[in-house]
Amino acid sequence: MLKEVIMPQLGLTMTTGTIQKWLKKEGDQLEKGEPILEVMTDKVTMEVESFDSGILKKIVAREGEEIPVTQVIAYIGDEKDEIPPELIARATEAKAALASEAAAVAEPQKEPALAEEEEGGRIKASPLARRLAQEKGLDLRLIKGSGPGGRITKEDVLKAAEEKERRPAPAEAARVAAPQIAGAPQVAEVIPLTGLRKIIAERLSESFRNAPHIVITMQVDMTQAQVLRDSLLSLAEEKWGVRLSYTDIILKATALALKEYPGLNSSLVGEEIKVYQDINIGLAVAIPDGLIVPTIFGTDGLSLSEIARKREELVKKAREGSLSLDEVSGGTFTVSNLGMYGVESFSAIINPPQVAILAVGAIEEKAVVREGQIVIRPQLTLSLSADHRVVDGALAAQFLARVRELLESPYLMLV
């Protein structure tokens, strides 16, 4: 019996999926539970297993295609099953509909109306119009007649000839679009914007375009945070098997500050601001294809060692490409740390639909004034980007000041 393989809905917010790779080819024998393809969502790439045993009779969606959830992408059956042409046509129409919706964003140019035909397929045109069209190299079938019954007149041909002269030839248009400039750099490689890179580009462009970003920056004295980390470093490695990092301390401070300022632990969806009870902080992780943000659920309720253990686990899985969809969903706030690259400070783009993101720079020894004396202290720059539609400047400043207070007096986080 012929059975449909559909694009699965791998998450509550998933509406389409991109076929990353078919792991089987047409004619292969499939076993129930065996991976047959890889699907990329807007967050992660996952293997999809066969729901039944049989032969992969037909693949109707190619690698790289974006397919709506529940749409047919393949058929499974036995040796006797034949696929009716109408089923293939139906799947093709569904894909065409998606492409049509995407193309509808830009208004297409109208095709010239075809000329009216007489019985026998002869174009309705006056003898003079025919002669002029032949002289000027015009196709009468592409000229709309203004005469009685759609008949093409001399004026119609002259008008079409004028329009043709105003239009640049394809080669000329290409030269205008890409002029050859002396000394222009030679292109070494052209990389298509596809896959995860395309998704990142679309999401961040949407965020920067739709959310007016307000960015505030504060300097943090990390002296006491250094003392705390140094005192716990050996204990954490020996007792819990984790290496405590400054990121873990920053995550803890951020989570506790979010409890006091829940307006930043929210999202803007349509015309509603959703303030969350759970504090689930996403940590931006660089991977070869771009960036991914796994989630540490209930960050505020975790100890430093638990945060460190979860961070190590998620970062490892992110770099191996083995994160589940659940592990990259449900975030309510994001932290991005580029300090390990020596970046002093930067402004991050908000991860939609969240309303804020904390950018963490490098800890650097700097001269500061303390009690009238110039001293050298480890300084950290924190930059908070917030959606100004939801978060006012005063609220953002109060939140960031609380994060700074917790980092400068980190033992407050342990009581």
> Which residues are the active-site residues?
388, 392
**Whole-number Å distance between alpha carbons of 83 and 52:** 17
Q: Give the residues across from 373 on adjacent strands.
A: 370
Phi and psi at 347, nearest 5°, equal -105, 125
Beta-strand ranges (E) seen in 264-339 are 266-269, 272-275, 281-283, 285-287, 290-292, 295-296, 333-337
Say how many CA atoms lie within 13 Å of 342 toward its Cβ.
0
Q: What is the DSSP string of 238-276?
A: IIIS----HHHHHHHHHHHHHHH-GGGSEEEETTEEEE-
Asked if residues 235 and 265 have their Cβ atoms less than 8 Å apart, the reply is: no
Phi and psi at 57, nearest 5°, equal -75, -40
Q: In residues, how long is the chain?
A: 415
Asked if residues 380 and 220 have their Cβ atoms less than 8 Å apart, the reply is: yes
Say how many CA atoms lie within 13 Å of 298 toward its Cβ.
4
**Whole-number Å distance between alpha carbons of 15 and 243:** 39
